[in-house]
Each structure stands twice: as C-alpha cells, then as structure tokens.
Amino acid sequence: MAVVDNHFGRNEEQDVLMMNDKYSCYVWSWRALIFLLILAVVLVISPLALPPLPPPPAVLLLVPVVIMVVLLVFAFSPSYSPEVVYNVAY
C-alpha cells in the first residue's frame, strides 16, 4: 500500500489514526476553550490599558447598516441559475 501525502502534510495512515482516536475531539475542545478564555481576558484588559479613542465619523457608523441591507437583498433575491431546481408541491 502506497503512502500518499495529502495537502495537510499528513499521510493516509496518520489520517486513519486521527479518525480512530476517541480523544481527539476533546483535545480540540480544550484548545478552543483556552483560546476563547485568553481572547476574553485580552478584550477585557485592553480597554483599560489603551488610551480613550475619539468617536468615529458618522459615515462609518452606517457601514454595518449598509452591509446588512446588502445581505438582506441577496438573501431575498431570486436565483436565475439554470442549475437551481424548485420543488413546488401543489
């Protein structure tokens, strides 16, 4: 059996070992939890260490509103792609 490297730098045997490892999901969960805790601490401490900033210009406050409007337009606009099949039950 030939060992082929995938684009993650692991070979097939390592992939099988990772899938069979019953504790691999717990390791990723702990890493994610530690990362989120460190991120929360940094976000709490950084405003105390940084000097106060002036408020942004009023035009920049509209940027999130414009993004939301564009996303709503895309969400409710019909798709004219020929690959889309609509199943309509009458």
Of the candidates 10, 30, 9, the residue with the CA atom closest to the CA atom of residue 19: 10
Q: Determine, yes or no, domain membership for 4.
A: no
Q: For residue 29, what pLDDT is reported?
A: 82
The number of helix segments (H) and strand segments (E) in the chain equals 3, 0
Give the pLDDT score at 47: 87
> Does some domain include residue 61?
yes
| Within a domain: 55 | yes
The set of residues, in sequence order, having a beta carbon less than 8 Å from that of 51 and lying 6+ positions away, is: none
Q: How many domains does the chain have?
A: 1
Domain that holds residue 60: 12-76
Evaluate whether residue 31 is within a structural domain: yes
For residue 89, is it within any domain?
no
Flag whether 66 is in a domain.
yes
Global pTM? Answer: 0.39
Evaluate whether residue 7 is within a structural domain.
Answer: no
**Is residue 18 situated within a structural domain?**
yes
Residues of the chain with pLDDT under 70: 1-28, 82, 84-86, 89-90
Assess contact for 20 and 14: CB atoms under 8 A. no
